[in-house]
Each structure stands twice: as structure tokens, then as C-alpha cells.
Amino acid sequence: FRDHYPWARMNASREVKSVELPNCKLIKGIETGAEDLEILHNGLAFISTGLRYPGIKSFEPDKPGKILLMDLNEEDPTVLELKMTGSNFDASSFNPHGISTFTDEDNTVYLLVVSHPDFKSTVELFKFQEEEKSLLHLKTIKHELLPNLNDLVAVGREHFYATNDHYFVDHYMRSWELYLGLAWSNVVYYSPDDVRVVASGFDFANGISMSPDSKYVYIAELLAHKIHVYEKHANWTLTPLKSLDCNTLVDNISVDPVTGDLWVGCHPNGMKIFSYDPENPPGSEVLQIQNILTEEPKVTVVYAEDGKVLHGSTVASVHKGKMLVGTVFHKALYCEL
């Protein structure tokens, strides 16, 4: 049975070998997850917190999620909750998942957030107002090709690639899809006048990101333990180029804008994420992948631990020698590398 499909795909028997970093501390004010985060070139980091996701633990199931801001230029950075404004925005049902930013020619920053109001899927588009430390809600994007959103990468103000992590919307069917390993999830390109599936056949498509030169799109296939590299074309289509096996459940992908390295938040043992036991919590693992486009990419486990510190890492991102690590529903870590 241990080689049985769900068991193997969840890496259920894997034990974590600890890889410690000397200068890490938990971030005060994050107790209900930091499922995704993105650091701007200037060191400001957006963090999504409070995700409620079917089948996954939540420490505050009755509270809406938030977007936090952290300034990595500070000596001892702290988080601040960003106010959300906008007449048509219902903050009480905000349930943020993957996030991505887009910076316009005039340096206006837009934040695109996957949200699950009432466990449906939307993309919420905000304009970041730095002076006011607030997010102005501009619009809600919904589409029948975006039924089960997980993550997205912005390629324009209202243009993005997004992952659907399931094919079925119905909760019962989704659990069978997961159990049987139906690799039916996909990636969609969205713009206001063109929406289409551009890649499919994934066993739980999860994180998505892009190379600094915008030529390649990286897709994490959680339950196949793979990161896929796709070539991006001028007409927004994607062509598969290569895949990298990771022996861990790969979640969100952040790309270092300077080096092009991939930083991946991972679940060493996925069974512990889907069946949470506080006595035996899910561990955390961060991979750094260098030279992914070459014949022999270098994969380094930068950080790993068995859940004593962090339960279920989903994302890691770096900026000038500092690293943030977020989780689905638990705490977040700030490290000096």
C-alpha cells in the first residue's frame, strides 16, 4: 500500500532531514499563514494571510484574510496590515491565496490576488497606494476557465497566467480527483479580451512564476513533485521545454530578479498538510534552483525542518541577503542569509 498512488504522491513516508539557518526568527503578527508573498525591487514585500481552503487547517476560520506589508530595508522589519478601499469590494469575504504584482511604466504598482469568497475563485485587482499604506480595489475578475484558482503571475495590469489546481468544482468530486491522481488541472492565460487554456495535464498545478527576461514560465506540479519550464511566445502561448524532479511537494515559486534563481516553498510530507495533527505537524523545506535552463540545474535545500518551527512552508523569496518563508495556515520566518 505504501507504493499506492496517493500515498506515494503525498510523499507520506518521507522524514525531514534538518537543514538549519543561523539567523532566522518568526515574524511577529503572522499567526494564520503567509500562503504567498512577493517582494518588489525596492524591498517592500506583500504577504497574503488568512487563507481558508477546503480540507486544510485554519486557525481563524471565521475571519477574513488580509494583505500585509513588510519593508525589508528596515533594521528589524515588522508587518503592517494594508487597508483596503473601494466601493464594490467586500472585505468580509476576502480569502487570499496566490498573489502577483505588476509595475507600470509610471511605477504604479498593481497587486493581483487570487481570492476564494464563499470558496469560489476570483482575481481581485488592486492599486497600491504607498503613501496611504492602502490598496484601492479596482475590479473583480471571474471567468468559467478560472474555476479553481491557486496562483497567478501578472504580465500586465489585467493580464496574467493562472493555475487551476483542480478540474472539478464540486468538493466530493475534487477529493476523488485528488485520490485517483487525475492529472486534469491546467494553466490559463487571461486578458480582458482573450482567455484560454495554455497548458494542461497537471496533477495539482500550483505555483507559477516567470523568468526575469519574461521568456520562460515556471509551473509547480505539486503532486508530481516537478517544476516545469515553458517557453512563452509573443501570442501568449506556452511550449513545454523541460521538467525538473524535486522529490518534494513543490508549492509556490519565487524568482530572484537579479540571478534568475528559483526559490521554492515545499512540503516534504504532503500527507501531514492534508491531515493536520498538531502533535505531528507538517514540516517545511525551501529549495534554491540555480541554472534551471541548463542540462544540470543545481538544486540546494537551503532550509528544512520537521514542523517544530514552521508548519507547511508554501513560499520563499529573497531580497539582498534576506529571505522570507511563508506557510499555508501557520507562521512566517524572516532570515538573514
Q: pLDDT tens digits, residue range 149-188? A: 999 999 999 999 999 999 999 989 999 998 888 999 999 9
The x, y and z cell numbers of residue 224, run together, are 508530481
Structural domains of the chain, with CATH: 6-336 (2.120.10.30)
In this prediction, residue 4 carries a pLDDT of: 57
Of 146, 129, 147, 148, residue with least CA distance to 138: 129
CA 1 and chain centroid, separation: 31
Distance of CA 223 to the CA centre of its chain: 15
99 labeled part of a ligand binding site = yes
What the block records as the C-alpha cell of 175 is: 477529493
Cell numbers found for residue 296: 544540470
Is the CB of residue 56 less than 8 Å from the CB of residue 328? yes
Task: Kindly list the distances between the CA atom of residue 168 and the CA atoms of 43, 60, 117, 176, in Å, as whole numbers in the listed order.
Answer: 38, 26, 17, 9
Q: Which pLDDT score, from 0 to 100, does residue 266 have?
A: 98
- Specify which residues 191 forms β-bridges with: 194
Torsions phi, psi for 175 (to 5 deg): -70, -35
List of the chain residues with pLDDT < 50: 1-3
What is the reported pLDDT for 54?
86
Q: Confirm whether residue 141 is marked as ligand binding.
A: no
| Rounded-to-integer distance, Cα 128 and Cα 46, Å | 10
The answer to whether the annotation marks 245 as part of a ligand binding site is no
Active site residues: 97
Q: Does 273 show up as a binding residue in the annotation?
A: no
Question: What confidence tens digit (pLDDT) does each residue in 40-95 have?
Answer: 999 999 999 999 998 899 999 999 999 999 999 999 999 999 999 998 899 999 99
The DSSP bridge partners found for residue 67 are 48
Helix (H, G, I), strand (E, B) or coil at 78: coil
